[in-house]
């Protein structure tokens, strides 16, 4: 599945109007993926003591410090990569939105304690 | 009139940064929905564009201030471990909540959800600030981008709302106490 196609701009004056949507798509998709990563890391931190230990970047805050910092780093890295790849492209933004929103909702669900308990069979 | 350092930091986290963040996200959402139902062009002036940019950046900034202050100042006080045999748990809110079946849910559901879901809102609002700043002049020609922003901003509002609601209830059930005392005003008596 290819989400990006080359954007053609015939006249420089049309640049402002025909600004490719690739940068917006990269920002939206990476935000969804970052939230999903946070949800996955939150579950991982609760699932095993060694993971919780590994995710403890700052002891007083506990595993939350590593969960949030790692998710933020992943979000920013993905944003940087997709932003560069899609900067001058027009992407299938409806599909990007849908995928990003599914990732965001999955992230919300993964952080919801009853769902997490169900997943970890606590 | 006195307040402790921990109470002041908690108020700054929840009332100042968190509260204004919630209001600001609601403002962004109203403006996005309104602008999606405008007839014809309603472009902002250059000054209007820069004010909108400042508003979006300030919104994201409030969110980051709320989560960072919460995670690295208030949360360590909340989850502090009492010395063995401590009878008074008032300085250890997490332990105080877990000590009773009637309050443990505020931690196991409230704090456990809030501490993670709260981060979604500043991540999403940073994305929204970037997109609005970059596409301000041409956002009306990208209705799908605007639709994505509305969906994400709505979710950010809900995430911040969950964090705010549980934060307020946790502070009612087991307030953060202790730290140095700051005198705000002296009584004339």
Q: Which residues of chain B lie closer than 8 angstroms to A96, CB-CB? A: 148
pLDDT-derived band at B41, boundaries 50, 70, 90: low
Number of residue pairs across A and B with CB atoms under 8 Å?
112
Q: Which residues of chain B lie closer than 8 angstroms to A47, CB-CB? A: none
Share of chain B above pLDDT 90, in %: 81
Does ipTM surpass 0.95 in this model?
no
| A61 → closest Cβ in B72, B116, B145 | B72
Cα-Cα end-to-end distance for chain A: 38
Question: Do residues A21 and A35 touch, judged by C-beta distance below 8 A?
Answer: no
| Residue B138 backbone dihedrals phi, psi, to 5 degrees | -130, 15
Residue of B nearest to A58 (CA): B72
Is the pLDDT confidence value at B40 over 90? no
B89 lies within 8 A of chain A by CB: no
Q: Domain locations in chain B? A: 2-37+46-183
3-state helix, strand, coil in chain B (%, to 5): 70, 5, 25
Question: Do residues A90 and A4 touch, judged by C-beta distance below 8 A?
Answer: yes
| B155 → closest Cβ in A23, A104, A112 | A104
The per-residue pLDDT of chain B, averaged, comes to 94
List of long-range contacts for B76-83, beta carbons under 8 Å, 24+ apart: B76/A60, B76/A61, B77/B6, B77/B176, B77/B178, B77/B179, B78/B111, B78/B170, B78/B176, B79/A60, B79/A62
Q: Domain locations in chain A? A: 21-120
Q: What is the mean pLDDT of residues B128-157?
A: 94
Is the pLDDT confidence value at A16 over 50? no
């Amino acid at each position: 599945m290819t989400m990006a196609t080359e954007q053609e701009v015939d006249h420089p004056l049309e640049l402002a109007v025909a600004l490719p949507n690739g940068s917006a798509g990269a920002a939206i998709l990476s935000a969804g993926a970052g939230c999903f990563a946070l949800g996955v890391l939150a579950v991982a931190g609760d699932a095993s003591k060694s993971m919780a230990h590994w995710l403890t970047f700052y002891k007083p805050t506990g595993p939350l410090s590593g969960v949030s910092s790692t998710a933020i780093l992943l979000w920013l890295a993905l944003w940087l990569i997709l932003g560069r790849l899609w900067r001058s492209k027009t992407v299938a933004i409806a599909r990007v939105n849908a995928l990003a929103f599914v990732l965001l909702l999955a992230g919300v669900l993964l952080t919801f304690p009853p769902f997490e308990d169900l997943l970890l069979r606590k | 009139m006195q307040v402790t350092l921990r109470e002041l930091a908690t108020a700054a986290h929840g009332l100042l940064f968190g509260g204004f963040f919630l209001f600001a996200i609601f403002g962004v959402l109203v403006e996005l929905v309104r602008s999606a139902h405008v007839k014809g062009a309603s472009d902002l002036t250059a000054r209007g564009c820069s004010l909108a940019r400042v508003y979006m950046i300030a919104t994201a900034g409030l969110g980051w201030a709320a989560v960072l202050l919460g995670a690295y100042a208030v949360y360590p006080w909340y989850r502090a471990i009492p010395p063995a045999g401590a009878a008074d748990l008032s300085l250890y809110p997490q332990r105080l909540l877990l000590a009773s079946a009637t309050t443990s849910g505020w931690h196991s559901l409230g704090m456990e959800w809030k501490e993670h879901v709260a981060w979604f809102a500043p991540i999403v609002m940073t994305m929204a600030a970037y997109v609005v700043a970059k596409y301000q002049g041409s956002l009306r020609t990208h209705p799908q981008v605007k639709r994505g922003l509305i969906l994400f901003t709505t979710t950010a509002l809900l995430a911040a709302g969950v964090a705010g609601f549980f934060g307020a209830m946790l502070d009612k059930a087991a307030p953060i106490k202790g730290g140095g005392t700051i005198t705000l005003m002296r009584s004339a008596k």
